[in-house]
Structure 1
């Protein structure tokens, strides 16, 4: 009984000392954190222009470039590669699985466009 009281007292003392040290170091940690936040790069429109994602909406009429961007294949991809890319992207965006019907239609339009070119 007495040993458990001693252990509890020592535990409280350790927590108290640790809390005091944390509070003493808090101003320097806060200043370092604010300095680090200032040095982070800005994510504005210019930095997003260089991202790997296509910026902008769909064109009024499907083009070879747009169809290849939608499917994620090169404009000169084979029919098998187009079919595989279509299947992969439709599994992720099918309306029955919570995807957008509009995006599914554009994906199908891109596949049909690429198939008709070849």
Structure 2
């Protein structure tokens, strides 16, 4: 009888540890689910606010057009991101800032710089 009680006590102890582990796992899953739900709600709010924003604010620095057949001073200043009446030092600084990329782009940038330098 003593051995039976001891073995039942050991069995309950071992199963109790398993039950505690399962309980902690369920609690952790519940907290993680709650946290994920709160994040999902916030994400939905942010996305709905982003949809309400005007799209022009995101694309205001993008020029919707290609290159002209003959480079103009306006196009040269657009390429460099400066005013058409900028000084030579501003043209040089802008040129060094944007130089790089494809050979075609480098040729266009150099052409734009030369045109802006001639106007000074």
Judged with a 3 Å threshold, the aligned counterparts in structure 2 of structure 1 residues 107 and 43 are, in CA distance, closer, same or farther, namely farther
Judged with a 3 Å threshold, the aligned counterparts in structure 2 of structure 1 residues 58 and 48 are, in CA distance, closer, same or farther, namely farther
Separation (CA, whole Å) in 2 of partners of 1:110 and 1:7: 76
Residue of structure 2 aligned with 1:70, choices 76, 79, 92: 79
Hey, what does 1:96 align to over in structure 2?
none
Question: Which runs of 5 or more structure 1 residues have no equivalent in the other structure?
Answer: 94-98
RMSD: 3.7
Hey, what does 2:113 align to over in structure 1?
111
Separation (CA, whole Å) in 2 of partners of 1:48 and 1:36: 17
Q: Radius of gyration: which is bigger?
A: 2
What is the SS of the residue equivalent to 2:51?
A: coil
Contact 1:49 1:55 in 2 (8 A): no
1:88 aligns with 2:61: no
Judged with a 3 Å threshold, the aligned counterparts in structure 2 of structure 1 residues 106 and 43 are, in CA distance, closer, same or farther, namely farther
Residue of structure 2 aligned with 1:16, choices 26, 33, 38: 26
Aligned structure 1 segments of 4 or more residues deviating by more than 4 angstroms: 5-12, 21-36
Judged with a 3 Å threshold, the aligned counterparts in structure 2 of structure 1 residues 9 and 42 are, in CA distance, closer, same or farther, namely same
Write out aligned runs for 1:5-84 (5 A). 13-23=23-33, 33-34=43-44, 37-41=47-51, 47=56, 51-84=60-93
